[in-house]
Amino acid sequence: MSCPICKKETDRTYRPFCSRRCADIDLGNWFAGDYAVPSQNPDEALEALEALENGASDPSKPH
Ligand SMILES: [Zn+2]
């Protein structure tokens, strides 16, 4: 099985991805779908994810 993001060999820790980075990219793609980002470029998806994290309210803030 290969990573759906970069096609490298899957790491069992992060399956079906090869790394935390690719898992984050996939999550970014998932969010990006809501925002209709036209690009399938993983790097741009990662940037979108980082933008979401930067723009989000403090995640450590207790409920
Ligand atoms: Zn990967």
* Count of Cβ atoms closer than 10 Å to residue 52 Cβ: 14
Q: Residues lining ligand 1 (ion), CB within 5 A? A: 3, 5-6, 8, 18, 22
State the binding site for Zn(2+).
Answer: 3, 6, 18, 22
Decide if pLDDT at 17 tops 70.
yes
pTM assigned to the model: 0.50
Res 45: pLDDT: 73
- Written as six digits, the tokens of 27 are 């999550």
Our measurement of the distance from residue 57's CA atom to the centroid of its chain's CA atoms, rounded to an integer in Å, reads 19
Give the pLDDT confidence of 19-42 residue by residue, as tens digits. 999 999 998 888 777 655 555 677
Decide if pLDDT at 2 tops 70.
yes
- Written as six digits, the tokens of 39 are 């690009």
Whole-number Å distance, alpha carbon 53 to ligand 1 midpoint, is 21
Q: For the ranges 5-9, 19-23, 51-55, which has the lowest average pLDDT? A: 51-55
Maximum CA extent, the chain: 39
Residue type, 29: N
Decide if pLDDT at 56 tops 90.
no
